[in-house]
Amino acid sequence: MADETILIRMAGVSYKYPGSQLNAVDDLSMTFGKKDRIGLIAPNGSGKTTLFHLIMGLIKPDQGDIEIFGKKVVKEKDFIPVRQKIGLLFQDSDDQLFSPTVIEDVAFGPLNLGKSKEEAIDISKRTLQFLGLEDFADRITFKLSGGEKRLVALATILSMEPSVLLLDEPTTGLDSRTKAKLIDILNHLSLPGIVISHEYDFITAVTDHIYTMENGKINLDEELHIHKHHHVHQHGKQPHKHV
């Protein structure tokens, strides 16, 4: 555990869902460093979400070791500090927002961490302000739009002051404006993290390295390089937008 620049280390980790034939995550080894902002592009069912759940301790590996912050994590107890330091944004924000009002939801994490009510409200308000959601505090969570829900879900994670972010398809169902806002926020935070997404534009904007994942493995040797290239313009000289 000498190397303090390594946050997460996985060695030969496999996981199979009960009743399934194939390993969802198969003999996966990787290290994730303090400064890494990694993007994962992968087909459906390639084990990305499973990877996140393994890191957070929501499921326990059948084989292999996981080390987080230099400590081996095995039991439920080991994951409690991990969950405070690593924030996972779910695919579906409706799963993450369960309190009646926005402020209660954002304050839920800090309160669980043992903060007093005043501290929790204070930190929640600051988080909402950082995200430009200061007027949302008393809104009812289920009445928010899809984009608003995603940003509030992000707020509920940021209010726990994580040092690593795991984002599971954060742009699903967002319009381009909210997407741009999300890119802005993530780059402003510039926390180390792993982002799963299908959208090249988004993933290149918020990460430094992009890998693919297939059959429960990350193809670490094949980093994707997204580069500019010349191509024939279908639009000719007509004014147009690159979306």
Partner 1 sequence: MINEPFASGNSIVHRLDPRFRTFFAVLLSIEVALLKDFSAMGFALLVAFFLAASARLNIREVMKRLSSIFGFLLLLWIVIPLTYEGTPAWQAGWLTWTREGIHLSAQISLKSTAILMIFMALVATMTLSTLGRALKRLSMPGKLVHLLLMTYRYIFVIGQEYQRLYTAMRIRGFRPSTSLHSYKTYAYLFGMLFVRASKRAERVNQAMILRGFNGRFYSLDDFQPSYKNWIFAGTMMMIFTGILLMENGLLWPMKPF
Question: Any residues with CB less than 8 A from the CB of 161 and at least 6 apart, and which?
Answer: 123
- Choosing from 94, 122, 161, 201, the residue that interacts with partner 1 (CB under 8 A) is 94
Q: Binding to partner 1 by residue 108, rule CB under 8 A?
A: yes
Stretch of residues binding partner 1 (CB under 8 A), selected from 6-14, 92-100, 202-210, 221-229: 92-100
The pair of structure tokens assigned to 48 is 């990305």
In sequence order, what are the residues at sequence separation of 6 or more whose Cβ sits closer than 8 angstroms to the Cβ of residue 219? 211, 212, 213
**Residue keyed to tokens 């988080």:** 127
Binding mask 184-223 for partner 1 (x = CB under 8 A): ----------------------------------------
Q: Tokens for 9, please give them.
A: 């280390």
Residue 74 sits in the site that holds partner 1 (CB under 8 A): no
Number of amino acids touching partner 1 (CB under 8 A): 33
The residue from 7, 10, 13, 107 that contacts partner 1 (CB under 8 A) is 107
Question: Under the criterion CB under 8 A, does residue 84 sit at the interface with partner 1?
Answer: yes
What are residue 76's phi and psi, to 5 degrees?
-50, -40
Work out whether 160 is an interface residue with partner 1 (CB under 8 A): yes
**CA 126, CA 7: separation in Å to the nearest integer?**
27
- In this complex, which beta carbon is closest to partner 1, that of residue 41 or of residue 131? 131
Residue in 23, 141, 171, 197 binding partner 1, rule: CB under 8 A: 141
**Residue 165 or 210 having the CB closest to partner 1:** 165
Looking at beta carbons only, is 56 or 220 nearer to partner 1? 56
- Alpha helix (H) residue ranges in 68-220: 76-85, 93-96, 102-112, 117-130, 146-158, 176-189, 200-206
- Minimum distance between the CB of residue 121 and partner 1, rounded to whole angstroms? 7
Backbone phi, psi, residue 12, to 5°: 55, 40
Helix (DSSP H) and strand (DSSP E) numbers for the chain = 8, 10
Select 90 or 202, whichever has its Cβ closest to partner 1.
90
Buried b / exposed e over 71-84, threshold 16 CB at 10 Å, is: eebeeeeebeebbe
Smallest gap, in angstroms, from Cβ of residue 90 to partner 1? 6
Decide: is 25 part of the binding site for partner 1 (CB under 8 A): no
In 3D space, the residue among 73, 64, 26, 60 whose CA is nearest the CA of residue 45 turns out to be: 26
Q: Does residue 178 interact with partner 1 by CB under 8 A?
A: no
Write down the residue that tokens 């950082």 correspond to.
130
In total, the chain counts a number of residues equal to 243
Interface residues with partner 1 (CB under 8 A)?
53, 56, 58, 80, 83-84, 88, 90, 92, 94-96, 98-101, 103-104, 107-109, 111-113, 117, 120-121, 140-142, 156-157, 160
